[in-house]
Amino acid sequence: MMESNIKYIGVGRSGEGLIIATYANDRNLRDTPRSELQGILMNESDGDWRTRVGSEHGTWFAKGDSNKICYLVLARNGYPDRYATALLDELERLFTNQGTDVLLTCPADAYTKVMGGEMRNLAMKYEDLRNIDKLYTVNSQVLEVQNIAQAGIQQVLRNTEAAEVVSAKAQSLEGNARVFQNDSKRLERMMYWRKVKINCILIFVVIAIILYIIIPIIITQSNK
Q: Are 112 and 8 in contact (CB under 8 A)?
A: no
Tell me: pLDDT of 59 over 80.
yes
pLDDT computed for residue 84 by the predictor: 95
User: pTM above the 0.75 mark?
Assistant: no
**What residues have CB less than 8 Å from 9, skipping those under 6 apart?**
22, 23, 25, 72, 73, 74, 91, 119, 122, 123
Query: What is the overall mean pLDDT for the chain?
Result: 86
pLDDT computed for residue 1 by the predictor: 59
Please list, residue by residue across 33-59, b when 16 or more beta carbons sit within 10 angstroms of its beta carbon and e when fewer do.
beebbeebbeeebeeeeeeeeebebbb
Q: How far apart are the first and last CA of the chain?
A: 158
pLDDT, mean of residues 161-171: 75
pLDDT computed for residue 53 by the predictor: 93
pLDDT digits (tens, 9 = 90+) for 11-29: 999 998 999 999 999 888 8
